[in-house]
Amino acid sequence: MSERRALGIDIGGTKIAVAAVDGVGRIHAQTSLATEAEQGFGRAVERMVTAGDEVLAQAGWNRRELCGVGVGCAGPVSPQRGIIDNPYTLPTWSNCDIVTPLRTALGKPAYLENDADSAALGEWFAGAARGASRVVMLTLGTGVGGGVVLEGQVYRGTQGEHPELGHMPIAQFAVDARSEAACYCGTRGCLEAIASGTAVAEAGKPFGFADSRAVLAAFGDGDSNAAAIIERVQRALDMATWTILHTFMPEVIVLGGGLGDAQFELWLPAMEACTARATMVPAGGVRIVKAELGNDAGQVGAASLAFGGKC
Ligand SMILES: [Zn+2]
pLDDT of 227-265, one tens digit each? Answer: 999 999 999 999 999 999 999 999 999 999 989 999 999
136 Cβ contact partners less than 8 Å away, ≥ 6 residues apart: 120, 146, 147, 148, 165, 244, 248, 250, 252, 253, 254
Distance, in Å, from the CA atom of 166 to the CA atom of 42, rounded to the nearest integer, reads 31
DSSP bridge pairs for 145: 139
Residue 248 — φ and ψ, nearest 5°?
-110, -20
**Which of 7, 10, 4 has the alpha carbon at shortest distance from 296?**
10
Q: Residue 213 pLDDT > 50, yes or no?
A: yes
Q: Residue 169 C-alpha to ligand 1 middle, in angstroms?
A: 8
pLDDT in tens, 81-95: 999 999 988 999 999
Taking the centre of ligand 1 as the mean of its atom positions, its distance from the CA of residue 140, in whole angstroms, is 14
Q: How far is the CA of 193 from the centre of ligand 1 (A)?
A: 7
CA of 27 to the centre of ligand 1 (A): 35
* Full-model pTM: 0.93
CA 188–ligand 1 middle distance (angstroms): 7
pLDDT over 90, % of the chain: 84
Res 139 pLDDT > 60 = yes
Query: What is the pLDDT, as a whole number, of residue 2?
Result: 65
> Quick one: which H or E segment has residue 223?
none
Average pLDDT value for the chain: 93
For the sheet with 83-84, list strands across it. Answer: 77-78, 83-84, 96-97
Q: What is the mean pLDDT of residues 131-158?
A: 94
Ligand 1 center–CA 190 separation, angstroms:
5
Query: Does 187 score more than 90 pLDDT?
Result: no
130 CA to centre of ligand 1 in angstroms: 30
CB 286 within 8 A of CB 254: no
Query: Which amino acid is present at 99?
Result: V
Mean pLDDT of 63-76: 94
How many whole angstroms from its chain centre is CA 10? 10
264-295 pLDDT, tens digit each: 999 999 999 999 999 999 989 999 999 999 99
Distance from C-alpha of 303 to C-alpha of 23, rounded to nearest angstrom: 9
Going by C-beta distance under 8 Å and a sequence separation of 6 or more, which residues neighbour residue 233? Answer: 194, 195, 200, 266, 267
pLDDT of residue 289: 98
- Residue 271 pLDDT: 97
Q: Tell me how far the alpha carbon of residue 108 lies from the centroid of ligand 1, in angstroms.
A: 38
Find the 191 Cα to ligand 1 centroid distance in Å: 7
Alpha carbon of 194 to ligand 1 centroid (Å):
10
Whole-number Å distance, alpha carbon 167 to ligand 1 midpoint, is 4
Which residues sit opposite 16 in a β-bridge?
11, 33
Of how many residues is the chain composed?
A: 311
How much distance in Å is there from the Cα of 145 to the middle of ligand 1? 11
Q: Using the mean position of ligand 1's atoms as its centre, give its distance from the Cα of residue 236 in Å.
A: 13
User: How sure is the predictor about 182, in pLDDT bands with cuts at 50, 70 and 90?
Assistant: confident
pLDDT in the model for residue 180? 66
Q: In the prediction, which pLDDT does 1 show?
A: 43
CA angle 113, 117, 122 (to 5 degrees): 100
Confidence of residue 179 (pLDDT cuts 50, 70, 90): low
Scanning the chain, the segments in alpha helix (DSSP H) are 41-59, 99-106, 115-126, 192-195, 197-204, 212-220, 224-248, 258-262, 264-277, 297-304
User: 9-42, pLDDT tens digit by residue?
Assistant: 999 989 999 999 999 999 999 999 999 999 999 9
CB distance 123 to 298 below 8 Å: no
Question: Are the beta carbons of 258 and 141 closer than 8 angstroms?
Answer: yes
**Rounded distance from Cα 88 to ligand 1 centre (Å):** 16
Q: Does pLDDT of 177 surpass 80? A: no
Taking the centre of ligand 1 as the mean of its atom positions, its distance from the CA of residue 155, in whole angstroms, is 20
**Rounded distance from Cα 122 to ligand 1 centre (Å):** 25
Strand partners, 147: 137
Mean pLDDT of 109-135: 96
